[in-house]
Amino acid sequence: MKTVLITGTSSGFGKLLTEQLSAKSQYQIIATMRNTNSTNKTVRRELEKLQNVEVLELDVTSEKEVKAITELVLQKHQSIDILINNAGVFGGGLLEAHSIEQVQKLFDINVYAPLRLMKAILPSMRKRQDGLIINLSSMLGLFSIPLNAVYCASKFALEALVTGSYGELIQKGVENILVEPGSFPTELYKKTGTKADLQEVTDSYDGMAEQMTEYANNAVYGAVQKHKPDPNAVINKIIGLIEMEKGTRPVRNPIDQISGETFAQKVADDISELAQTQMKAYGF
């Protein structure tokens, strides 16, 4: 039985993945989330009823908690075979209207948290010469758009950490890869998120931010209503990657039912090809 640790399982992709993996007898799922005894108490109890699911309290921004939980799981189950870095937070607003502290908060969850988990688990994976890390990125880790520059920057950073380290880790038997969803109807967009917090700066743009936000929200809502993207497609993608033979998993795995799978895959392939061309030019 393989041990799978998933972050951010209180809602969205994390919760769906926990539910669907629990139906497969070959996995022991460690479902982590914050506030298991308060705001997430109901979902904790719901997940605990599932087969082979253990729910643990974890704030991914806490170095102390990440270290304690990974040590606990390793002691109890001997290994963490698969890490799913799913926890994340959305953001929005004018770049100038974000305080540096607000940018740091968003990066702490979207960039430093997955890195914390990687660093905590990698020594045991390298020792066994085996392991899989799947990081939930976004198509907005490949493009940056107005009012989302800070969020996109966090996903760009995650993409860089994963793609840059792939060649380091695969030599130690560990695959570190990405899944890059487009827009799907999950709770991510409904939550408050970590948004621009300098209201006086936003106000100084004379209503431009509000107009652009309303336009963008309507456009995305219209696209979602038209194409009806199914979040289960992302879950199927992740499970498919888990079940692939070691060494055959692509580093980038885009999935976008709005722009289209062919286009999304072309973006990923083109970026990879351009990166290889650049590396060759420098003699690598």
Residues 43 and 122 sit within 8 Å (Cβ to Cβ): no
pLDDT higher than threshold 90 for residue 70:
yes
- pLDDT recorded at residue 193: 75
> Does CATH place domain 2-281 in 3.40.50.720?
yes
User: Pairing mode, if any, of strands 254-255 and 174-181?
Assistant: parallel
pLDDT at 191 (0 to 100): 62
**How far is residue 38 CA from its own chain's centroid?**
24
Q: Is-catalytic flag, 151?
A: yes
User: Percent of the chain at pLDDT above 90?
Assistant: 95
Overall average pLDDT of the 59-84 stretch: 98
Residues 172, 174, 176, 177: is their CA dihedral positive or negative?
positive
Q: Does position 20 have pLDDT exceeding 80, yes or no? A: yes
What pLDDT shows up at residue 185?
A: 84
At 136 the three-state DSSP class reads: strand
Q: Which segment of 12-16, 176-180, 193-197, 209-213 scores lowest on mean pLDDT?
A: 193-197
Q: How far apart are the first and last CA of the chain?
A: 39
DSSP state of 10: S
Residue 162 has pLDDT above 80, yes or no: yes
Predicted confidence at residue 107, as pLDDT, reads: 98
Which of 151, 166, 189, 282 does the annotation list as catalytic? 151
Q: What is the pLDDT of residue 121?
A: 98
What average pLDDT does the chain have?
Answer: 96
